[in-house]
Structure formats: C-alpha cells, structure tokens
Structure 1
Amino acid sequence: GQKLLGSKGAVDGLQVKTSDLFSAPDTMLRIARDLPAHYTVRDWSQTQGSLFRAVKLEKLMVSLLLLSVVAVAAFNIVSTLVMSVAEKRRDIAVLRTMGARAGGIMAIFVAHGLGLAAVGISIGAVTGVLLATNIAGITAFIENLSGVKLFDPSVYFISELPADLQWTDVSGVVLASLLLSLLATLYPAWRAARIAPAEVLRYE
C-alpha cells in the first residue's frame, strides 16, 4: 500500500484487536475520543455491516424460538396444575374446613408449579451448558460415527461449529423461564383458592 501511494515509511492506518469481539464498538468510541477530529475510527460491525446485521437477526430469531418453547412449557404447567386442582378438590375443601386460608391454598399450588418448573429449568440449563461447552467434541464424534463432514469448508464459511457461552444469556433465559412459570401457576392456584368447601363436601 505504501508503494502504490508513494508514502514509504508513513503510517496511514492502525488496527487494534480486542480480546472480546463484541467490545469493539465501546473500544472504538474510547479511541475516537482521544484522537483529533480528522481521524476516522471504525470497528468491524461497521466494515462488516451486513454480516453483523445477519448475526443480530439470527440471535433475535433464536430468542423468539426459545421464547415459544418456554411458552409451551408454561402452558403445560397450567394444564398440569388445573388437572391437579380438579383431582384435589376434596382435599382442598377439607383443608379449608380445618382453617386453611385461601392464600395458603394458593401458595401450595404456586410452590408446586414452581417446583416442577425449577426441575425442568435446571435440567435444560445444565444440558444446554454441557452441549455448548462440548460442541466441538460432539461434532467430531458424530463425524467419526457417520463418516460425513458436517461443516465442509468447501460448502460453508466455517469448518466447525463455534460456541461462545455467555453466562448473561444463560441467566436471562433462566430468569425469564422462572418468571413465565410463576405467571403460569397463578391461574390454577387462584382456582384452587376459590373452591367452596361446603359445595364440594355436600355430596361426600
């Protein structure tokens, strides 16, 4: 470049590599503040804008897909608790006649639902983390077993499936799942709390 421009010995650009790929925009802003106004500072998300937008769109789609899976799981919790309330109507009525308050009955079913959700979320989170941290070994095992190259460099831009585990994303998914599970338990718990003991026990 210096020979073509006739600027032998001169420096017309400087590249900075960050340890964290996604910290590049913040690093760019800090560098730009320390340089004179006539200098131009750009990061990879600007020079590779189409790729960056594609990655963001893919992450959004994966998040929406994950949200739909969690919503289905929450609906299953609602169905399970509604059936449990129907089966335990007599027991609930007996507890009410013994002095149990509506709030206490509601708390029992909320705790039941959250317990089911906690087991499922724990299994899912542990499985996901193990898959993400061992994806290279799993891919190699499948390739050796099947004799097929899953990521052929002549077809794809990558030769392996990269994985960057972000604990903030894991925490966000776990908390969102717990919140949806809590909301899913409220309606069945409310129905359980509204059961009238006299009406249920009248025909017993």
Structure 2
Amino acid sequence: MFKPVPAAIGLRYLRAKRRNGFISFISLASIIGIALGVTVLITTMAVMSGFQKEIRDRLLQFAAHATVVADGEPMRDWPLALETAARDPRVAGAAPYVETEALLSGLRRQPALVRGVVPELEDQVSVLARKMKRGSADSLEEGSFNMLLGQELALWLGVDVGDTVLVMLPEFQGSPMGAVPRIKRFTVSGVFEAGYNEIDRGLAVAHMADLQRVLRVDGATGVRLKLHDMNEAATVAHELALRLPGFYRVSDWTRENANLYQSLRMEKTVMGILLSLIILMGAFTLVNSQVMLVTDKQADIAILRTLGLTPAGVMQVFMVQGTLIGVIGTVLGFIGGVTLTRNLERILDAIEALFDVTLLPEDVYYITGLPTDMQTGDVVTTLVVALAMSFLATLYPAWRAARTQPAEALRYE
C-alpha cells in the first residue's frame, strides 16, 4: 500500500530496534506515563461525577426541582396553580406547602425547618413515604398534629415515635408574663432517613392544615414542582408564575443549592487540572525520548536530506513517530480508564476484604460503595488533552531534526 515517505519512515523508526536501548526504554516510559495519566484522569472524573450525581439525587428526593412562592403574602389560589401546572406536559407533579423556621425542643433543642405538606399530593414531588424508617407518612392526618422527623434530628432531640416535641415559632404573642414565643406541642409519628445530613438533621414534616393553624395563615407558602427534565426547572417555574394572577417569586434547585454545586464543580475542575500534570509528565518524557532519537539518527537524517527529503519532510518523520507514541498511550489509557471505572466497586470490595478495613463508612459518608458516573464529555476532553499534549511534545524534537545540516552530520561518519 502506498504511504507518504515521511509516514513510512516514521513508522519504520517506531518498529525498528534501536541501537541505543535506553531510547527505547524512554519511549516505553512515555507510553506508560501517558496511559497512566489518561487512566487516572478518566477514573477520577467518573468518581467526582458519581459523587455529584449521588448528592444531587439524594437532595432532590426531598427538595423540589422548582418552587413558585407568593410574594409577601400567603398563596391563597394554590389550587389554581396546581391545575395550571398539571396542564404543562413538562411537569411530573405539583404540591402545595407551608414552611417556617422553628426551634424544636425534646430532651435537647435544635433549630429546624418545619414543612407542612398535603400527604395525598406529597408523593408527586418527593419520596418521603418511601424513606420512612419508623412510623408511617399516612399518620399525617389533619387535626392530629403529628410530625415526622429526620433521623439525625430525632436522635439529637432524644425522641422517637410516640414522644412529643415542642415547636417554638419565631413569633411572639402577648401573655400575662409579657411577650412569649408561640409554642405548639406535636407528636412524633414517624422518622425518615434521606441519606443527606442537612435534611436528616434539619427537616421536620407536618400536615399543612395543622401548620397553617399554628401559623394562623389561610394559604400556602407556595407550590413545589417536580419536572420530567430537571434542567428546565427555571424556565417552567417562570412560565407558570406568569400564567398566575398576582406576583410570585420563582426558584429552582440550582439556585437554592448554588454554593454546593459550585463547590463540587470547582473541586472537579481543580482535580482534573492537577491530574492532567501526570499526562504532562508523560509528554515531557516523550520530548526527551524524541530529542535522544534525533541525536541517535543524525546520520540517517543527513542521508535522507542528500536524497532529496526536505526539512519539512524530516520534521514530519519525527512528528509521525512521536504522535503515534502519544496515540498508543492515549488508547491504552482509555481502555485502562474504562476498565478500571467499571470494576472500581469490585476492586474496592477486594481491598476492604484483604485489609479488613472500611474505606467509605456509611455512618460518615451516607453512601454505600463508590459511585461512578462516566460522562462522555469528560472522557472526550481527557483524550483530546492527552493527544494535544503528545502532539505539542513532538514539535521541538522534530524542528531540531529539520535543522540538521547533512555535511556536519556526515563529517565523522
């Protein structure tokens, strides 16, 4: 098969045995370095994406994709909002809610967010009923003044199912002893576990009608929406607010948890940059091997020049060889990264069994196992970075080879 002369010579140099075995060793080290860097970077990005997805999914089990909140006063026409949302094909479910900050008192005291919900509608926007550890979500009946607590919150308050907690609201009322906070006694009828510390430690759930009665309001705080595509949350909430009479504030899960997701995204970016240095080290090793190869092939370069090969052709010879080393390392790294990511859970289990340790304790991380989410964009970016570094690493040695003068190179041959 016909091949361009520079490509044919470059491929021959790659296959041929070197007179200097040290050059071959450095070339092999370049391949291993690039492959190792690509493998580690693909696996690490998959793990970071897996943790992001795990945290997001656990948070959104109880947090709405989007919320529409009345501005300055209770939302009295929330049934109209539910009807309007139900007609939107992008909305999977909608439910009203009442929300307030309160101080809960059991054996100890703990501030928490108290949310009033309609049990019949809550299943459309959260998985509260499926996350019950003790008791039942059906116990939230109007007028019962029952309450569901997060597991960490119940543990901290020192209460369990059947016990009572005092809910102290940040509103004062007159009494013979002066202004005192409004207090209501609730019965703990269930304990849930979301697997996310901020929810398990800081959320209590009651029936919306009971909380309305305690707060003395005749409407809802707003409407929570669950969407088929969470990335459309801001758009759907804004359009719903425009179709309702009055003024409303809209929010979505990315805005309400902006600090968390920005920090996770920043960690992933910084980790990617740092691990790219492994690929860069492999690229520098490739530069060294190519420079030594150019020095070793001075006589060959001179002969090729006398036979009519142009400096650009000489440069292409060594660029072909160096680039092919980078491609081999990148392909091996891609195979290694995908294989390692898909078997990471088994490897983790083997390490734990071999050394009798628990690398990710469930009571610390709320996660059993090591979540991975290998995203195509991350893999493609890693491969492009590795190939780009390998290509750039060949430019200086190839340029140096092109500057070889035939007469000086053959003077001592």
TM-score (norm 2): 0.45
Q: What are the superposed Cα offsets for residues 25-76 of structure 1, whole Å, 9 maximum, x if unpaired? A: x312321342124344333333233321221121111111122122211111
After superposition, the Cα gap between the structure-2 partners of 1:42 and 1:133, relative to the gap in structure 1 and judged at 3 Å, is farther
User: Aligned match of 1:101 in 310, 331, 348?
Assistant: 310
After superposition, the Cα gap between the structure-2 partners of 1:189 and 1:40, relative to the gap in structure 1 and judged at 3 Å, is same
Deviating beyond 6 angstroms after TM superposition, the runs of 4 or more aligned structure 1 residues are: 7-11
In the alignment, what sits opposite 1:194?
403
In 1, distance between residues paired with 2:343 and 2:248?
Answer: 43
Q: What amino acid is aligned across from residue 338 of structure 2 in structure 1?
A: V
Q: What amino acid is aligned across from residue 31 of structure 1 in structure 2?
A: V
In 2, distance between residues paired with 1:43 and 1:93?
Answer: 68
> Per-residue deviation at 1:11?
8.6
Provide the identity percentage. 38
Please show how residues 49-60 of structure 1 align to structure 2 within 5 Å.
49-60=258-269
In the alignment, what sits opposite 2:236?
31
In 2, distance between residues paired with 1:116 and 1:88?
Answer: 18
In 2, distance between residues paired with 1:125 and 1:105?
Answer: 30
Contact 2:318 2:394 in 1 (8 A): yes
In the alignment, what sits opposite 1:133?
342
Contact 2:330 2:383 in 1 (8 A): yes
In 2, distance between residues paired with 1:133 and 1:46?
Answer: 33
Pair 1:46 & 2:251 matched: no
Q: What amino acid is aligned across from residue 100 of structure 1 in structure 2?
A: L
Greater share of helix: 1
In the alignment, what sits opposite 2:392?
183
Pair 1:5 & 2:216 matched: no
Unaligned runs of at least 5 residues, structure 2: 1-115, 117-207
Q: How large is the Cα RMSD of the aligned pairs?
A: 2.1
In 1, distance between residues paired with 2:338 and 2:251?
Answer: 34
In 2, distance between residues paired with 1:45 and 1:70?
Answer: 33
In the alignment, what sits opposite 1:16?
226
Q: What are the superposed Cα offsets for residues 146-166 of structure 1, whole Å, 9 maximum, x if unpaired? A: 221111012224222111110
Q: What amino acid is aligned across from residue 4 of structure 1 in structure 2?
A: L
> Per-residue deviation at 1:12?
3.3
Contact 2:312 2:402 in 1 (8 A): yes
Contact 1:28 1:41 in 2 (8 A): no
In the alignment, what sits opposite 1:170?
379
- Bigger Cα Rg: 2
In 1, distance between residues paired with 2:344 and 2:252?
Answer: 29
In 2, distance between residues paired with 1:136 and 1:9?
Answer: 49
SS in 1 for 2:362: coil
In 2, distance between residues paired with 1:163 and 1:41?
Answer: 32
In the alignment, what sits opposite 1:70?
279
After superposition, the Cα gap between the structure-2 partners of 1:168 and 1:44, relative to the gap in structure 1 and judged at 3 Å, is same
SS in 1 for 2:348: helix
Unaligned runs of at least 5 residues, structure 1: none
In 2, distance between residues paired with 1:80 and 1:153?
Answer: 47
Greater share of strand: 2
After superposition, the Cα gap between the structure-2 partners of 1:131 and 1:44, relative to the gap in structure 1 and judged at 3 Å, is farther
2-11 or 72-81: bigger deviation:
2-11
In 2, distance between residues paired with 1:28 and 1:146?
Answer: 46
SS in 1 for 2:378: helix
SS in 1 for 2:369: coil
In 1, distance between residues paired with 2:402 and 2:370?
Answer: 50
Contact 1:109 1:185 in 2 (8 A): yes
8-17 or 173-182: bigger deviation:
8-17
After superposition, the Cα gap between the structure-2 partners of 1:133 and 1:92, relative to the gap in structure 1 and judged at 3 Å, is same
How many residues align structurally? 199
In 1, distance between residues paired with 2:338 and 2:303?
Answer: 45
In 1, distance between residues paired with 2:314 and 2:284?
Answer: 21
In 1, distance between residues paired with 2:250 and 2:355?
Answer: 47
